[in-house]
């Protein structure tokens, strides 16, 4: 199916309480997203206010409301492997516009976490790598250490030369401290990580 | 709880203000001191998890802010300097307050009863309170004629759960106008700076930043004013075109307006040098 075809499926009001009828739709998926995010995605009526206001929609493969549409239709694999869920920065711009108060950032959080847990293809591995390096830094110090995050991120993505200049300018202005700022009682932080039901992210 | 002359707050700076944005941290503390607000840094605070924890790990996104709540002394409000840390801490506080299982878990993990009455305030909320009480002092026409573009970024946005929270839109204009500075009207005051995309998808963030920078310059502003360290960094590192203008922290300008901060070296740390502008306005030597 081409990118947009399955987003144009006719919707009908149904007596079983669900708003959409599609042969083979995986309704369990929408439920799972709702449970994790606390958002009832069926409330979205695709007015597209969110997509119109999202500052990063231009870079996304699917618009924010299309992501919701895919959840409603239960197209699990496509939505979990799309790039939009990674490009969303959770700025809440869309939620301020949404007439039904859909918490888009929470939906995107849930989808990303499901993509990782369920081993889906990650459309934006660099973005995931960056998040992992931030979290690793918190594991080590309890706080983020920008220089270390940047170096390890570069090591992961092998993009050494890009942004060299920016890094050096920041160093010269002492914006990248060589030493991390640290939590003293680091055991409390490590324990929090150990108790993580999802394991080390 | 607070006596009339000094206000006591616990203070959560957050990772950026503690490191890359020291000029924001120090100017905020200086300004508070001048206004009779005493800040006591939250002992052994940790990272709130930032965008990364809530992006990929719900457990950490909840418990990292929760530990900070557990560290906060009960007798005074907690001031959170960074706007995004503020959202994280406040939201976690709301979530725990609403859910008895979460309250029990909190107590189990941190050996302390959850305090539903802990007041968590942003810098804007605190400042607005000071203004409303008419106790803002020492700011007189020092910034006369300085044209600034007030930039709030996603600070004006709230998730639906927090919709009733005040955003303090217009506070920068209101307070800085009292010091003689002139806000320009421009369309991008609430446009997101791109946050972490600046690292992992720099071109996408650069497009946002360029729109913001060009918009401010076109509105004839001499500088952009922000209260967020993330916005500040992105605006500075992702704008490349000639004609870009300096980006100042709200707290830096408030300090200058109050006659402090001239010799503190905050402005040397900026990547877009604001010193020529500040000299032109006789704000620094
Ligand atoms: S603004 Fe809300 S209702 Fe409209 S399309 Fe977006 S999520 Fe759906
Ligand atoms: S929260 Fe995500 S989808 Fe919504 S406007 Fe921001 S980046 Fe776009």
pTM assigned to the model: 0.89
Q: Which of A117, A147, A171 is the last residue of a domain?
A: A117
Residues A167 and A142 in one domain: yes
- Residue B214 CA to residue A66 CA, distance in Å, equals 31
Tally Cβ neighbours within 10 Å of residue B80. Answer: 30
pLDDT digit string, tens, across residues B32-44:
999 999 999 999 9
Residue carrying the six token digits 């700025």: A91
Residues A146 and A48 in one domain: no
Looking at residue B23, what is its pLDDT? 80
CB contact under 8 A, A162 and B202: yes
CATH number at residue A110: 1.10.1060.10
Q: Give the range of the structural domain holding residue A170, as residue numbers without chain letter.
A: 125-194
Residues A41 and A78 in one domain: yes
Q: Which of A91, A117, A143 is the last residue of a domain?
A: A117
Residues A104 and A147 in one domain: no
Looking at residue A11, what is its pLDDT? 43
Mean pLDDT (whole number) for A49-56: 96
CB contact under 8 A, B204 and A87: yes
Q: Which two tokens stand for residue B28?
A: 């905020």
Residues A110 and A16 in one domain: yes
* Banded pLDDT at A19 (limits 50, 70, 90): low
- Shortest Cα distance from B219 to chain A (angstroms)? 20
Residues A53 and A113 in one domain: yes
Q: Which fold is adopted by the domain B7-125? A: Glutathione S-transferase Yfyf (Class Pi); Chain A, domain 2 (1.20.1050)
Looking at residue B269, what is its pLDDT? 87
ipTM of the complex: 0.92
Top-confidence residue, B202 or A176: B202
Top-level class of domain B140-280: alpha beta
Q: For chain A, what is the mean pLDDT? A: 84
Pick the atom of ligand 1 nearest to A49's CA: 1
Residues A18 and A111 in one domain: yes
Contact present, B83 and B90 (Cβ < 8 Å) = no
DSSP string, A159-184: --STTHHHHHHHHHTT-S-SSPP--S
Is the beta carbon of A105 within 6 A of some atom in ligand 2? yes
The residue ranges of every structural domain in chain B are 7-125, 140-280
- Residue A125 CA to residue A121 CA, distance in Å, equals 9
Residue carrying the six token digits 């920078």: B213
Q: Which of A51, A86, A117 is the last residue of a domain?
A: A117
Looking at residue B40, what is its pLDDT? 95
Residues A87 and A158 in one domain: no
Is the beta carbon of A107 within 6 A of some atom in ligand 2? no
pLDDT digit string, tens, across residues B102-148:
999 999 999 999 999 999 999 999 999 999 999 898 888 899 999 99
Mean pLDDT (whole number) for A158-184: 74
The count of structural domains within chain A is: 2
High-pLDDT (> 90) share of chain A, %: 61
């Amino acid at each position: 199916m081409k990118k947009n075809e399955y987003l144009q499926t006719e919707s009908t009001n149904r007596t079983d309480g669900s708003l959409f009828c599609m042969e083979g739709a995986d309704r369990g998926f929408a439920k799972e997203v709702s449970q994790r995010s606390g958002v009832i995605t069926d409330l979205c009526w695709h007015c597209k206010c969110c997509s119109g206001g999202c500052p990063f929609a231009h870079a996304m493969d699917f618009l924010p409301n299309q992501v919701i549409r895919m959840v409603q239709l239960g197209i699990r694999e496509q939505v979990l492997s799309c790039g939009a869920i990674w490009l969303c920065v959770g700025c809440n711009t869309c939620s301020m516009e949404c007439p039904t108060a859909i918490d888009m950032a929470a939906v995107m959080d849930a989808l990303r976490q499901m993509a990782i847990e369920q081993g889906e293809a990650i459309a934006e591995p660099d973005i995931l790598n960056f998040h992992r390096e931030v979290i690793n830094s918190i594991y080590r110090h309890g706080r983020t250490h920008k220089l270390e995050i940047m170096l390890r991120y570069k090591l992961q993505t092998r993009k050494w030369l890009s942004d060299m200049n920016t890094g050096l300018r920041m160093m010269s202005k002492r914006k990248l401290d060589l030493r991390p700022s640290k939590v003293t009682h680091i055991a409390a932080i490590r324990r929090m990580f150990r108790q993580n039901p999802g394991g080390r992210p | 709880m607070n006596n009339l002359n000094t206000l006591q707050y616990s203070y959560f700076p957050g990772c950026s203000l503690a490191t890359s944005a020291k000029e924001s941290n120090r100017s905020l503390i200086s300004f508070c001191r001048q206004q009779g607000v005493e800040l006591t840094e939250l002992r052994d605070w940790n990272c709130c998890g930032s965008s990364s924890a809530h992006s990929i790990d719900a457990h950490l996104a909840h418990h990292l802010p929760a530990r900070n709540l557990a560290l906060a002394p009960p007798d005074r409000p907690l001031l959170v300097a960074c706007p995004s840390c503020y959202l994280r801490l406040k939201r976690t506080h709301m979530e725990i307050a609403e859910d008895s299982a979460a309250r029990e878990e909190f107590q189990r993990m941190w050996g302390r009863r959850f305090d539903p009455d802990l007041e968590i305030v942003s810098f804007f909320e605190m400042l607005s309170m000071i203004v409303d009480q008419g106790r803002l002092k020492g700011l007189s026409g020092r910034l006369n004629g300085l044209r600034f573009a007030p930039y709030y970024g996603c600070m004006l946005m709230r998730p639906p759960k927090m919709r009733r929270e005040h955003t303090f839109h217009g506070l920068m204009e209101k307070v800085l106008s009292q010091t003689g500075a002139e806000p320009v009207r421009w369309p991008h005051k609430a446009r997101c700076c791109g946050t972490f995309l600046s690292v992992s998808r720099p071109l996408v963030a650069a497009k946002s930043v360029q729109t913001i920078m060009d918009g401010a310059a076109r509105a004839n502003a001499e500088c952009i004013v922000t209260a967020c360290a993330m916005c500040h960094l992105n605006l500075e590192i992702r704008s490349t075109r000639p004609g870009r203008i300096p980006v100042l922290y709200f707290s830096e300008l408030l300090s200058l307006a109050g006659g402090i901060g001239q010799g503190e070296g905050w402005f040397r740390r900026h990547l877009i040098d604001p010193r020529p502008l500040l000299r032109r306005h006789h704000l620094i030597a």
